[in-house]
Amino acid sequence: MIRVTLHLLIGAWLLAASIAATSLRAAENIRLACVGDSITAGYTLRDKARDAYPAQLGRLLGSGWEVRNFGVSSATLMPGGDLPYDRQPALATALAWKPEIVVIALGTNDSKEINIGRHPDAFEPGYHELVAKFRQANPRARIFLCLPPRLSPTS
């Protein structure tokens, strides 16, 4: 978990820092939404608001950025999964916020047999649908997809 979080944090920081150089907006903070499952939400952390990777990313980026955590523990990307992200209030809140940058880290829970066994071909279309929703909310948004960590040789 620590290794995955560190990779997410470093990757997100690098992409955000490179985007900062292009200065998306001068008048207001750049809105960066972290969308994901328990890895994003900060599952098992005592102080999620301080220690989850979106909070750490916000501190690394500093002023000029507003980073929000839209992680939902146990969420799946696939609409037919056991806890579909697209049916969670966090998605509606994230879309209404109209972020300029979206980092999506979903897929870990989709690899559970209960999900992938019932819906083996739904993962990629699920990603396309989620990206389309963020594109509709803000057509200029930059959207970054994170690969889910490999949990087993068959996942």
Task: Kindly give the interhelix angle for 89-97 and 123-137, rounded to the nearest 10 degrees.
Answer: 40
Q: What is the pTM of this model?
A: 0.83
Q: Are 57 and 34 in contact (CB under 8 A)?
A: yes
Q: 105: alpha, beta or left, given left = phi > 0 and alpha = psi -120 to 50?
A: beta
Q: Which pLDDT belongs to residue 21? A: 45
User: What phi, psi does 51 have (nearest 5°)?
Assistant: -105, -15
Q: Which pLDDT belongs to residue 122? A: 87
Q: Which pLDDT belongs to residue 119? A: 76
142-145 and 101-105 as β-strands: parallel, antiparallel, unpaired? parallel
User: What does the pLDDT profile of the chain (155 residues) look like in tens digits?
Assistant: 555 555 665 666 556 655 554 555 556 899 999 999 999 999 999 999 999 999 999 999 999 999 999 999 999 999 888 999 999 999 999 999 999 999 999 999 988 888 877 877 888 999 999 999 999 999 999 999 998 887 767 65
- Sign of the C-alpha dihedral computed for residues 110, 111, 112 and 114 taken in this order: positive
Query: Which domains are seen in the chain, by residue range?
Result: 27-145 (3.40.50.1110)
Q: Which pLDDT belongs to residue 69? A: 98
Q: Which pLDDT belongs to residue 44? A: 92
